Amino acid sequence: MNDSSWGAPPRAGSQAGYWGPNDHGAVPHGPVQGAAPAGPAYDAPEAQQTRSMPIVPDVPAHGGNQDDDRGAARLGGPLFRDETFRDGTFRDETSHGATSHGGTFRNETSPAGTFRDETPSAQPAAAVPQNPEPMPDAPQPASAPQKKSAGRDLTAAIGVGVGLGAVIIASLFVVKAVFVGVIAVAVVVGLWELTSRLQERKGIKAPLVPLAVGGAAMVVAGYVRGAEGAWVAMALTALAVLVWRMTEPPEGYLKDVTAGVFAAFYVPFLATFVAMMLTADDGALRVMTFLLLTVVSDTGAYAVGWRFGKHKLAPRISPGKTREGLLGAVSFAMVVGALCMEFVIEDGTWWQGLLLGLAVAVSATLGDLGESMIKRDLGIKDMGTLLPGHGGIMDRLDSLLPTAPVVWLLLVLFVGSA
């Protein structure tokens, strides 16, 4: 179809090939024959709006639907036509001669049966992409490098660590009995933190009173009577937990007493081995070696893992621990262990210190992972907030508790128990 004007529709009997209504308003099914008018069908002022239009074929060269480019403005003159889209919708377009600038009125019936009237803008506009893609060679801003974070308040952590170290050293080398009291206090506070978190997060009510009394007695028994006294105190504490829980309703009895027996073994019984180390003639030096190796192992793992850690050690349990950190813990602990066994522990040798340091690094890491497993099950980050920069008492005892029996046993094997 060729059209040379963009404007009002010609009158009836106009140019041949015009698809439009006749005098009766009906839409014919073929071209209306007639002579073309001598000029445009509107006034002279409006004739200035006339534009010459490009030649548009009746059927697209590619054979597709003429409404393929429906996103762009329609080119052509007045048009009456019934069209069926590819999606099955029907459109009846009517061009009104009274519309200025060739405005076209369009009736559309969507598949949902709704009716829509559209009047396009007077001027045709080229289709503009909604989301233009960026130029491939456009320079991208470089992201600022992020510094590694230590993950805790180092100032508070160092201050608390120094304070605890001063208390331990003062009590350890002045009066041994005072240090036993420090161990008992740490055990009671650790039991309170553990049982409180169990009740808050899991609804498990492990009886605290028999645990606290039995735990303190266990530490004293281990210092006074050795391993035999520790085992007897452990058995009596477990029995006290079973009996104490009987005073409450039976619902949840099994899980409460199970948690109570676990707490008695995990905190006070393992801590009793520190008290048993203290009974030797060089007990203070043995305890100091035990504490120093554990702290050095943790420090080496933290420093090396924070600086060089890339490969996760146990991502499901503790995502922050790395294999490089474990190597740092082993290296630091073995060096310090060799020095301590050679120059601090009587009758000790450097190679024994290497084995001792290796065992401490492994047991301390396993203890840390075990504590992380408990906290992950409870859905918490720290067991408490008593120690700024560290968390709770249990967050400091996590690596010490399982390491105590390992150091006690190896020192007995290497240099005896006297």
Cβ of 388: how many Cβ atoms within 10 Å? 13
| Each residue's pLDDT expressed in tens, for the chain with a length of 418 residues | 444 444 444 444 444 444 444 544 444 444 444 444 444 444 444 444 445 555 555 544 444 444 444 444 444 444 444 444 444 454 444 444 434 444 444 444 444 444 454 444 444 444 555 555 555 455 555 555 555 555 566 677 787 778 888 888 888 888 888 999 999 999 999 999 999 999 999 999 999 999 999 999 999 999 999 999 999 999 999 999 999 999 999 999 999 999 999 999 999 999 999 999 999 999 999 999 999 999 999 999 999 999 999 999 999 998 889 999 999 999 999 999 999 999 999 999 999 999 999 999 999 999 999 999 999 999 999 998 888 777 889 998 999 999 999 999 999 999 998 6
Q: What is the pLDDT of residue 189?
A: 96
Inter-residue contact 198 to 207 (CB < 8 Å): no
CA distance 338 to 326: 18
354 contacts: CB under 8 Å, gap ≥ 6: 334, 337, 338
Inter-residue contact 363 to 406 (CB < 8 Å): yes
Q: What is the pLDDT of residue 141?
A: 54
CA distance 392 to 200: 16
CA distance 80 to 343: 107
Hey, what amino acid is at 282?
D
Inter-residue contact 288 to 172 (CB < 8 Å): yes
Q: What is the pLDDT of residue 375?
A: 94
Q: What is the pLDDT of residue 45?
A: 47
DSSP states of 224-259 as a string? HHHHHHHHHHHHHHHHHHHHHHTTS-STTHHHHHHH
Buried b (16+ CB within 10 A) or exposed e, 156-177: ebeebbeebeeebeebbeeebe
CA distance 79 to 58: 12
Does the CA dihedral 11-15-17-23 come out positive or negative? positive
pTM across the whole model = 0.64
| Nearest in space to 325 (alpha carbons), one of 292, 371, 361, 370 | 361
Burial of 213 (0-12, 13-18, 19+ CB in 10 A): middle
Phi, psi dihedral angles at 353 (to 5 degrees) = -65, -35
Does the CA dihedral 367-368-371-376 come out positive or negative? negative
Q: What is the pLDDT of residue 139?
A: 54
| Nearest in space to 397 (alpha carbons), one of 257, 276, 287, 295 | 295
Inter-residue contact 56 to 76 (CB < 8 Å): yes
Q: What is the pLDDT of residue 168?
A: 87
